[in-house]
Structure 1
């Protein structure tokens, strides 16, 4: 899509600022890069990059490119033995902002949708759910709370502030103060019933 050299493509985006480029390239230090990885600080360019991630283990610490949100053109490939192993991998970690399943199997797609939790799911397509205005976009757990787009934005970013007021007449009647006579208890039961 971007030609033989994405660095020369006017259609290939750049990293938003120097700090984020440095953050992304730091993730790649010591990584097993399948292809890509070229970068230029002068242009805030980072090539489309695929990283061979290590096989999941319970003992070895995971690389930071697997534990932090990247927001850059880096795709780690984690080797697993099956769809069930991939699902186990996903559910054993923080909930992702988005989960993408590329599968020809309806059963595998269904398993990813029903057995995982994420902000959104893309089946056979990345990022499409983020661009559909009428769908909520947002995370769950560590990937964020709430959702936005249209009415979802209003609901998420608005706070309905409850305001209550107790009429002073109740103070003069001393209805809500001891002693709680049988008459006061009867009125309270009727009011709450």
Structure 2
């Protein structure tokens, strides 16, 4: 989007994913000269140095915590920003949901890249009437796509690993914190530090004092929360920071409509997860804590450009509204105000 809008650009990929960064470098160096597009690698110190520069615009993808750092640095140069952040994207499974379809889409959206995507379903509210069937269906779907045992899940090339040791420890500690505070591990929980492997983990009986209910999980943990009263679920969502995505599964359009109209989120997926990110004609972005601005397609072009107004006078009569403000001029002004208003 930045290049399409006519900019030169500096790209700073994450130091946590050097292989992906190298792919970006190879593509950029083949396609552009360094004065147009340059990839710069490095740690947080390099990022801080870049943020001190007077860019026209900064586009950042990452956590809300680092997003605040980026925004603070940009403010010193009055640089505009687009922030793609994250948060705890909730999922609601209604009493009339297609359970098999819900399980299939939620398992894919949650465990793709080992849960390390900003729009992964963070946790699922499931209506009591379909809770048992949903849990069974999710377990069956995990077994179908990744394997029924940790050994099978380790062996399949389709199941990823946690990006590094620090985040492996963070996710493992989330599971242990929930376990020690009374949560039930329905499936998974097995880990292997030598591979940064964490099995697909389903957790129930969660409480507000657990870390998994307080911070973005960004890993292969899926808390399943049973509900009866949808109003209480909506109140819970609205009491927390606005999420980047919200997912709804139910056959009833009115069920989805009341959730959409009574909550605020970057985007909503009805009977699907994650796919809205891929749609070229939809804006992708968050609200407040989950992001500022939007990207993709036309919205990305606008994010990296300025719509500059240019007006040329040819046959204007605006001079008739200039002082001195005679009675005729005042009447003319009143007419113009009424017409334009």
Q: So what's the TM-score if we normalise by structure 1? A: 0.73
Q: 1:77 to 1:69 in 2, by over 3 A?
A: same
Residue 155 (1) aligns with residue 272 (2): no
2:147 corresponding residue in structure 1: 3
Render the CA deviation track for 1:88-111: whole Å, top value 9, x for unaligned.
111111111111111222221111
Q: CA deviation at 1:118?
A: 0.8
- Which residue does the alignment assign to 2:104? none
Q: Secondary structure at the match of 2:202?
A: strand
In 1, Cα distance between the equivalents of 2:147 and 2:189?
16
C-alpha separation in 2, matches of 1:69 and 1:22: 15
- The reply to whether residue 37 of structure 1 matches residue 189 of structure 2 is yes
Which 5+ residue runs of structure 2 have no aligned equivalent? 1-144, 309-321, 334-341
Give the greater-gyration-radius structure (CA). 1
The yes-or-no answer on 1:186 pairing with 2:304 is: no
Q: Which has the higher helix share?
A: 2
Q: Which runs of 5+ in 1 are unaligned?
A: 56-60, 163-184
Equivalences, count: 164
Asked whether the 8 Å contact 2:177–2:210 carries over to 1, the reply is no
> Within 5 A, what are the aligned runs for 1:8-157?
8-31=155-178, 32=183, 33-54=185-206, 61-156=208-303
Conserved? CA contact 2:250–2:271, under 8 Å: yes
Measure the CA separation in 1 of the matches of 2:324 and 2:166: 66
What does the per-residue CA deviation read over 1:24-55, in whole Å, with 9 as the maximum and x for residues that have no partner? Answer: 11211231222111122221222111122535
3-state DSSP of counterpart to 2:158? coil
SS in 2 for 1:111: helix
Offset at 1:84?
2.0
TM-score, scaled relative to structure 2: 0.43
Change (3 A) 1:161 1:130: closer
Which 4+ residue blocks in structure 1 deviate beyond 6 angstroms? none
From the two aligned structures, give the one with the greater strand fraction: 2
In the aligned structure 1, how far is the partner of 2:283 from the partner of 2:205? 31
Deviation of 1:187 after TM superposition, in Å, equals 6.9
Q: Considering only aligned residues, what root-mean-square deviation do their CA atoms show, in Å? A: 2.6
